Structure 1
């Protein structure tokens, strides 16, 4: 099944893209998707440890199961003031 992944802030800058469509197996959880991203972008593995994830514009738990056509936003921590 296909999901759309949106990248923000420093992640977007480091991987040089703001979004991509990824084909993942049925039953994939948010946590499993993060592991796939760690394998896809090994140079950013530690960056994915502290991200917030939203699915279809609502914050998601690690156990949430993704569905065909979901939009997953990967949001790194933001600092500053």
Structure 2
């Protein structure tokens, strides 16, 4: 299944741009997507944490990704 993944913050640097096209293999859950992204982009493992949003809502690892879903990777935000 091909999906588009939007990147925010430092994740744009990891991906080399604001979005990537991705073919999700096997089980189509958020957890599986995170595993695949961390394997392809090892710098993502350096993040203390990051969130995945599916269709504008934060997603739990067990959520099943469906064709046409909008995926976004959101790194931690610091402020002061």
TM bin (shorter chain): 0.7 to 0.9
Q: CA deviation at 1:26?
A: 5.6
The CA distance in 1 between the partners of 2:15 and 2:70, in whole Å, is: 18
The CA distance in 1 between the partners of 2:72 and 2:32, in whole Å, is: 15
What secondary structure, in the 3-state scheme, does the structure 2 residue paired with 1:20 have? Answer: strand
The CA distance in 2 between the partners of 1:65 and 1:17, in whole Å, is: 25
Count of matched residue pairs: 80
**Structure 2: segments with no counterpart, 5+ residues:** none
Decide whether the 8 Å contact of 1:30 with 1:65 is kept in 2: yes
2:44 aligned with 1:44: yes
Given the two structures, how large is their TM-score scaled by the length of structure 1? 0.86
Distance change >3 Å, CA 55–CA 61, structure 1 → 2? same
The CA distance in 1 between the partners of 2:27 and 2:15, in whole Å, is: 26
Higher helix share: 1
**Structure 1: segments with no counterpart, 5+ residues:** none
